[in-house]
Amino acid sequence: MINIQPRFKNDVVIFDIEGEIKRSDITDVTLHQLVKEQLDSGRRKILLNFDRVEFIDSFGVGEILASYISTHNLGGKLKLVRISKKLYLIFQVTMLTKVLDIFEDEEAAMKSFF
């Protein structure tokens, strides 16, 4: 089960994600849908906090990529923070480390928006 809670700092939307981002959770609202809602409301700075994400499958990788593309196409910025070493390997293998801005701590990620 995945739990995604938005919070706001200045004009940045931070999504605190907890659990597993995988296909079996598609009955829930998806990460991409939540990001699109924020984009539709005019917000263009999105930070995904992976501090409590335990697992991600190819569906989850697709959700992150779709969120990045939607944000990028509207001139926004999507960044990731606090990714475990195990998940970082997945991003390396899929070459997403070359596309996504990934930060170790929230303060550094927040500063990078300004």
pLDDT tens-digit readout, 54-90:
999 999 999 999 999 999 999 999 999 999 999 999 9
Closest listed residue to residue 69, CA positions, set 80, 82, 59, 78 = 78
What's the pTM?
0.94
Domain-wise residue ranges, the chain: 2-112
What is the per-residue pLDDT for 27? 58
Backbone angles phi, psi at 73, to 5 degrees: -65, -20
CATH of domain 2-112: 3.30.750.24
**List of E strands, the chain:** 2-9, 12-21, 45-56, 77-81, 101-103
Burial 67-76 (b: 16+ CB within 10 A, else e): bbebbeeeeb
For residue 55, count other CB atoms closer than 10 A to its CB. 14
Share of the chain above pLDDT 90, in %: 86
65-to-2, 9, 23, 70 alpha-carbon distances in Å: 18, 23, 15, 9
Cα separation of 68 and 85, whole Å? 21
How sure is the predictor about 28, in pLDDT bands with cuts at 50, 70 and 90? low
Dihedral angle, C-alpha 47, 51, 56, 59, nearest 10 °: -20
